[in-house]
Amino acid sequence: MKRTKRIVIITIIFMIILLPFTKVMAADNIDTNDYNPDNISTNSKSTLLMDAKTGKILYSKNAFSRMYPASTTKLMTAILTLENCELNEVATVSHNAIYSIPIGYTHASLVEGEQLTIEQLLNILLIPSANDAAVVLAEHISGSVENFAILMNNKAEELGCLDTHFVNPNGIHDENHYSTAYDLSLIGRYAMKFDDIMRIAKVAQYTLPKTNKYNEENRIFNSTNGLIDPNDSYYYEYATGLKTGYTDKSGSCIVATAQKDNVELIEVILGSESTSERYEDCINLFNYGFNNYSYKNIVDSGELIESVTVEGATPETETLNILTKNNINILIKNNVDIDRIEKNIDINDNLTAPIAKDAVVGTITYTLDGETYSTELIAQSSVVESNFEIIIFRILLIILIFILFIIILGKLNRPKKRGKSYNSSRSKNKNCKKTTSRKGGRYKFTQINEYL
């Protein structure tokens, strides 16, 4: 018993020692070094440019350094709102939602007891970055800001964030409220999956309708994101969102998205000294991405890779064409020659019949700059098994059935033999039957002849 207790205690101590290293171990497969292949110059403290479709990092600078996220935090609040609420739900503004916002932080002039729909709250959360709206949503979903922060941190971990901790839903400065450019790119990329977030993030101006406590429509809000406002000097025609941020401690921040042709990019700028620096870095990185990268098809779905002969198959099906299951379309630099991409074909060993059509028979992998892209290989047609023993057995069975048929047919064609009459009284009695005559009622005995 004592030995068991000792083992339990040692195990607990061991787990406590290892706990602080959990996140570091999870990041082992991620290159945390700066990535600047073309010597781009940015002024902000922390920046990252990522392909929104694949998550491929195109540029990074201090992207894994802990920073204050300011109001880019509200992206997580919007995500959890849409995952937990319907747009037509109604939330009530609490006393805390108004009076917990420090002086100098943005708000939407909400009134205690005012009732707004979730959609209205999302609009004032994302467009003018209203901090009071964030608290209303947090309390509506979790009952308190503290409980909502737990939900936020759980979601961040679920998305693969490595160094993020939230204590509030709006990004009001707190020493324990932090994230990184890389983590915010994961949150922003996930936010892009929500059509409602992307729809609202493109709105340059929003008017809050009348409510039960506010009888005017004079609460008109402009977007804090100059990239999507045609009247702003930093308007960027390819911008699609997403969320800005600013506090004295965090500096100027943004999680921005843009799309040109079939390329969609997301970037994070943290710690800019000014709004102009934020936008200049932002636009320069977008232009770099769009001017230097494009999607190219390495291989098409259903493309013939190889033809092989399958053992144990019928002559008609033994030649099998092997095709790619999916196409591989990757974002690569425009000056990259596709022909120099390494290709590795791995077909399953000892392919034997039978094989079903579209069955997976291997994989094909392409390698470029240390990154791999692969798809499964499938059978173009079915391969039928050819079993010699079964064929011989069937032939012998047919021969046997034929022989039996001849024997039976011979017996049926033999002449019939007449049976003998027995004169003994005993035989007569045995082989006779009594019949009654229709006339006179006399008895007759009829002789029964036997036939073979």
Mean pLDDT in runs of 10 for the chain (452 residues)? Answer: 48 40 48 91 97 96 98 98 98 98 97 98 98 98 98 98 98 98 98 98 97 96 98 98 98 98 97 98 98 94 94 91 94 88 92 94 91 94 80 77 83 62 46 46 46 40
CATH code of the domain in which 251 resides = 3.40.710.10
Domain that holds residue 434: 419-452
- Shared domain for 265 and 310, answered yes or no, is no
- Shared domain for 264 and 291, answered yes or no, is yes
Round the CA-based radius of gyration of the chain to a whole number and report it: 41
Is the separation of the CB atoms in 131 and 101 below 8 Å? yes
Q: According to the model, what pLDDT value does residue 6 have? A: 53
Q: According to the model, what pLDDT value does residue 402 have? A: 83
Rounded CA-CA distance 265/40 in Å is 17
Closest CA relative to residue 283, chosen from 38, 37, 49, 53: 49
- Shared domain for 91 and 207, answered yes or no, is yes
CATH code of the domain in which 313 resides = 2.60.410.10
Per-residue pLDDT reduced to its tens digit, 352-374: 999 999 999 999 999 988 889 99
Is the separation of the CB atoms in 264 and 53 below 8 Å? yes
Residue with tokens 């003018």: 128
Residue 147: inside a domain: yes
Is the separation of the CB atoms in 192 and 266 below 8 Å? yes
Closest CA relative to residue 129, chosen from 282, 248, 254, 233: 254
Rounded CA-CA distance 263/371 in Å is 19
Q: According to the model, what pLDDT value does residue 7 have? A: 47
Boundary of a domain, candidates 295, 320, 344: 295
- Shared domain for 212 and 95, answered yes or no, is yes
Domain count, the chain: 3
Contacts 24+ apart (CB under 8 A), 338-346: 338/296, 338/298, 341/298, 341/366, 341/367, 341/368, 342/366, 342/367, 342/368, 345/305, 345/306, 345/377
Tokens for 157? 């971990």
